[in-house]
Amino acid sequence: MTRQHTKVFGWTLAVVVAALFCVLGGWQLQRMHEKQALLAQSPVDGGAAVSLSHAAASPQELHWVRERLRFLPGTVLLDNQLRDGRAGIKVYQAARAHDGLTVLVDLGWLPVSADRVLPPVTAQQGMAELQGLWAPAPSAGLVLGPALAATQQPQTWLATRIDLAAISAQLGLEAPGLASRVLRLDPALPLGYVRDLDLLPNTLTPSRHLGYAVQWFAMALAVLLIAVVLHWRRRRH
């Protein structure tokens, strides 16, 4: 490889790596703005409850939903959910309104033992008067592998992330499948398990995303500065 080819290869590599770091920094900034927009919404008034169809008509807004829903067979256990420093799962089950709209209901959190044996879960059945927060599902994070895996419990799947399309297919729901957000049940309701209405559970805060963005952009700048210094030294020699 000639000296000219070496120089071109070095600059190309530096630019590609710096561009990759900038993309990662931009993604962190995007996540920061998304979470800031979510937290900036007005607190939801439990006295101003709306129907599920009303909430689905404006999916990007927080709503307090109250409606009578019928639970559907099939339970989804979201893995790697921390609560008070303990590892556990979140229990989800689909429920359908009288107009056919189907939503994934967050029934709460259960601890998982150190040997990773899943706790027994009893699926909800029949009709129930439900209320809770219409909110985004937990962030998927880094997407690796299939979203769902079968468990030893019948009609129960372990999920690495909430993939609404995959869950709809697994439950055999016809189009359009599950609603774009989940219903996080009111902690005061007697059914389900321990839960809260924290908008950013098991995820980074906006300030943490900003910190990571600054780090990625700084690394991109450092790569370009190193390339400039190496180029300058070669010219001197």
- Where in the sequence is the domain holding 94, given as residue range(s)? 44-185
The model's pLDDT over 45-78, given as tens digits with 9 standing for 90+, comes to: 666 788 889 888 887 788 899 999 999 999 999 9
* Residue 141 confidence (pLDDT): 61
The 3-state secondary structure of 24-46 reads HHHHHHHHHHHHHHHHHCCCCCC
* Range from 17-26, 59-68, 200-209 carrying the lowest mean pLDDT: 200-209
Side chain identity, residue 146: P
Instruction: Mark whether 66 and 150 lie in a shared domain.
Output: yes
Domain count of the chain? 2
The model's pLDDT over 152-176, given as tens digits with 9 standing for 90+, comes to: 999 999 999 999 999 999 999 988 8
Instruction: Mark whether 88 and 168 lie in a shared domain.
Output: yes
Instruction: Mark whether 109 and 68 lie in a shared domain.
Output: yes
Instruction: Mark whether 88 and 120 lie in a shared domain.
Output: yes
In a domain, 79, yes or no: yes
Q: pTM of the full predicted structure?
A: 0.74
**156-159 and 63-83 strand pairing:** parallel
Instruction: Mark whether 231 and 162 lie in a shared domain.
Output: no
Instruction: Mark whether 142 and 173 lie in a shared domain.
Output: yes
